[in-house]
Amino acid sequence: MNHISDIQQLESQLRSAMLNSDINLLDRLLSPQLIFTNHLGQVLGKAEDLHAHSSGLLNITRIDTLAEEIRLHQETAIVSAEVNIQGSYAKTPTNGRFRFTRVWLHRTSGWQLIAAHSNLLA
């Protein structure tokens, strides 16, 4: 089993789930213990992230990955990705180039995203 390939697939699934506000897929990918610090410094958990998608508060229309680096450490994968995102949050345009750091943890049930952090790049 190639874990780099697994993580690349999961990252692709995550982007698709974000673009389509696919709550079922997001629910499977996100750990119940998720800690996500967004580019505004807000700390969100899984419930808040799912709500942003299900309520329409967050609407992502495009995600272009510019660079991606994956590092494996035993049962953990760390992803650093630079992406262009187009969309809106609370009907306010949220477009820009972002840097995400995501931490995936391998459990008996498979990989889940347990932590993430984003920065808006100048």
Q: What is the pLDDT of residues 41-57, one digit of tens each?
A: 999 999 999 999 999 99
Domain count, the chain: 1
Alpha-carbon distance values, 23 to 46, 73, 106 (Å)? 11, 29, 21
For the cut 70, the answer to whether the pLDDT of residue 1 exceeds it is no
Q: Residues with Cβ < 8 Å from 75, sequence gap 6 or more?
A: 105, 106, 107
Q: Could you give the CA distance from residue 2 to residue 10 in angstroms, rounded to a whole number? A: 13
> What residues make up the domain containing 12?
3-121
- pTM, full prediction: 0.93
- The CATH number linked to 43 is 3.10.450.50
Asked if residues 38 and 18 have their Cβ atoms less than 8 Å apart, the reply is: no
